[in-house]
Structure 1
Amino acid sequence: MKTSSEQPVLPTLQRYSLNGETMGGRYTAVFYASEAIDTAAIGVSLFAAVDKVDQQMSTWRRSSDLCRVNAAAIDTWVTVPEDLVLVMETGLRIGQQSMGAFDIGVGELVDSWGFGPSQHPPLSPAALSTTRHRPASAVLEVDRARGQVRKKAPMAIDLSGIAKGYGVDLLAQCLDGWGLASYLVGIDGEMRARGCKPSTAPWAVAIEKPTYGVREVSGVMELQDTAIATSGDYRRWVDIAGKRYAHTMHPALQKPVSNRLAAVTVMASSCMLADAWATALLVLGERDGPVLAQERGIDALFVLRDGIRFQEILVLGGKLVEVN
């Protein structure tokens, strides 16, 4: 018989870590659970989650659903999976909300600058098309009810600025399905956390210093029931005639982004949103990016290059709270 002073015995939680390859990088899942958890089955479901995104949204897999859409004739409805419809819809919406800074219709640009699946050498800036860019929102039509999409004009869709974030969200949904309440999942630098550690400490995520070719930690952000993603100019680039061009495209200018921003980190309710908005704010630059973040209530850290030093601008809750 229990007395009022007796406390229930809580199960001991053990730390687990699973990882694997996906989308040209690695996915990770760190979580706390009892010793009775079936980690093998969880590992299978985690891989299935990210592999689904890769099979549907990769431009590097010719059999992907996205490649079917890109190859389809103009004005032809193409039936696609529900996940792809959701990501395309979200991409179009953020494209409109960001005044075209985020655009899923830059596939041809990405390929022409040497970042796409064709693997041909990047064209010289002078050789690239100077025709006016038509945003995806003006060309792509999505019918969510029927699960179909169609292009109204020639366009190559590229989801590299949003698909990894969605993959992270599916990793989180997977662990939610296993009843886990304490985890950190990610694909490369895109991360999402649920709850906190058993010690009640939040999850700590390192923020990289945006230095070319060198991996250094510039700080740490603590996460609890939120997602984080970073876009920058310091990891993927091509060299053309001695000049470095980063992989993020400026849709309107039809060339890689060129401004003072070295990186933008965004925190949001989902990693898909954080991923896309980090790209959009990077494209908008050091002046318009923070302004839009304040207008839309986006939590974002902007890192600007100032010679060999860096300057930070932080926007939280729609307010500019720190400049150094």
Structure 2
Amino acid sequence: MKTLCWMTLVANCKAHMPDIMIIKKRLTLLSASFLFLCLLISGCTPSGTERPSVKFSGQTMGTHYHITVVGPASGEFEVNVDALQSAVDEQLVQINQMMSTYIDDSELMQFNREPVNEWVELSEPVMEVLSISEDISQRSYGAFDITVGPLVNLWGFGPQMQPDRVPDPDELAAALARTGHEYLQLDVNRARRTANISVDLSAVAKGYGVDWIANFLTDRGFDNFMVEIGGEVRVVGDSPRSTPWRIAIEQPSVLAGGARLALNVDNHAVATSGDYRNYFEVDGVRYSHTINPKTGRPIKHNLASVTVVAETAARADAWATALNVLGPEKGMELANAEQLAVYMIVKDGDGFVDTQSVTFSQLLH
């Protein structure tokens, strides 16, 4: 499960390609927004062949969002940016009110307080996110689990963010007893908990929010744009250069790394999950923020980051988390079985090696 994970999308001016976006995971909110702002201000001078575009950003879901809307190749392009951003903000407020665990009266939190075994009618968006989550939970053999919150909190990676000690066995057993996606049952427009679990959608809600805003912009007649919320990205149509958007995957590093790989992305979403910044150490042992729902403990494998390209940001987001839990061998085996476009960066001694699924390799040609 990804907790407090952010990435920034910035123009790669050194290469004179302002449509290249670099994925930055595990940044603090302040540093991510500062880096993005600085590079926008000091960005490359647009070439004469660029389409007109508008950019705006804001805050939502405990992180930042960034949106770029590109005009047509010919003809006028007039956008009331303030009105468009206000409309986007209204949509994001709706998503938060449905799915946030930080809003006490959100639809999700009300559902978590309902008695065990009682069916609850839920809105279509919440049911859709629950259905996506359960589908990927089953396909990943439980590696993705939206009930893992008690374990994340126990290890100190929850809202209070105080990772400094290893839980004792009794604490771990108690937290594990309050998890399990199999205790969440779904019907057409209702759901119920069959045990005392709590649903936390933070590993998929940002991706779903990206999809929601992408559909919103499409409905308003925009054909070319990029939407990013807290690191989950979806692009539609062409970049300002009338070419596919280019997404650059970051070199894993505790500090901000450079781009390790750039790929063209057309009408797809990209999500990356990694653990090389968010962890703590006790007695020389490193504990990742990514928790294995089966064991209740942080992952121990050598997968530094996993990137998933999918048709929707919600599925890319959820799959990135699941594969990160599984690790490089089992994760890649599942990626190929599911025909997912997956790129992994694996720790190898003091360096890194790359591995990619068959479907991902086809994106490079």
Indicate whether 1:139 and 2:183 are aligned: yes
RCO comparison, higher one (Cα < 8 Å, 6+): 2
Task: Quote the residue 2:279 is aligned against.
Answer: 237
Q: Is the counterpart of residue 185 in structure 1 residue 227 in structure 2?
A: yes
Structure 1 54/316 Cα, relative in aligned 2: closer, same or farther at 3 Å? farther
Residue 30 of structure 1 corresponds to which residue in structure 2? 68
Shift of 1:72: 2.1
- Aligned position for 2:311: 269
- The 2-side partners of 1:199 and 1:319 are apart by 24
CA contact (8 A) 2:345 2:352 kept: yes
1:246 equivalent in structure 2? 288
Change in 2 beyond 3 A, CA 1:320/1:212: same
Aligned-residue offset at 1:83:
0.8
Structure 1 distance, partners of 2:220, 2:110, is 33
Of 148, 157, 172, 1:129 maps to 172
2:31 corresponds to: none
State the Cα distance separating 1:134 from its structure 2 match.
7.7
- How far residue 60 of structure 1 moved from its aligned partner, in angstroms, is 2.1
Distance in 1 (alpha carbons) for counterparts of 2:280 and 2:105: 27
| Between 110-119 and 286-295, the greater mean CA deviation after superposition | 110-119
Matched, 1:83 2:144: no
Per-residue deviation, 1:141: 1.3
CA contact under 8 A between 1:27 and 1:187: conserved in structure 2? yes
Q: Does 1:167 align with 2:205?
A: no
Kindly state the Cα deviation for residue 177 of structure 1 after the two structures are TM-superposed: 1.4
Q: Please name the residue that 2:98 is paired with.
A: 56
**Candidates 57, 67, 73, aligned match of 1:19:** 57
1:210 to 252, 267, 272: 252
Partner Cα separation in structure 2 for residue 192 and residue 96 of structure 1:
25
The number of aligned residues is: 309
More moved, 93-102 vs 122-131: 122-131
**How far apart, CA to CA, are the structure 2 residues paired with 1:104 and 1:96?**
12
Shift of 1:244: 3.3
Residue 317 of structure 1 and its aligned partner are, at CA, apart by: 2.1
Q: Percent identity?
A: 34
Paired position in structure 1 for 2:139: 97
CA contact (8 A) 1:59 1:117 kept: no
- Structure showing greater Rg: 1
Query: Residues of 2 paired with 1:120 and 1:309: CA distance?
Result: 29
Where in structure 2 are the equivalents of 1:141-156 lying within 5 Å?
A: 141-144=185-188, 147-156=189-198
Q: CA RMSD in A?
A: 2.4
Assess, with a 3 A threshold, how the Cα gap between structure 1 residues 164 and 134 changes in structure 2: closer, same or farther: same
Deviations 1:110-157 (A, max 9, x none): 11111223566665232432366686442011223xx32211111121
Q: What is the TM-score with the length of structure 2 in the denominator?
A: 0.78
Measure, in 1, the Cα distance between the counterparts of 2:277 and 2:228. 17
Which of residues 114, 136, 148 is equivalent to 2:156?
114
**CA–CA distance in 2 between the matches of 1:207 and 1:121?**
27
The one-letter amino acid paired with 2:109 is C
Q: Distance in 2 between matches of 1:162 and 1:171?
A: 14
TM-score normalised by the chain length of structure 1 = 0.87
Q: Is the 8 A contact 1:261 1:305 kept in 2?
A: yes
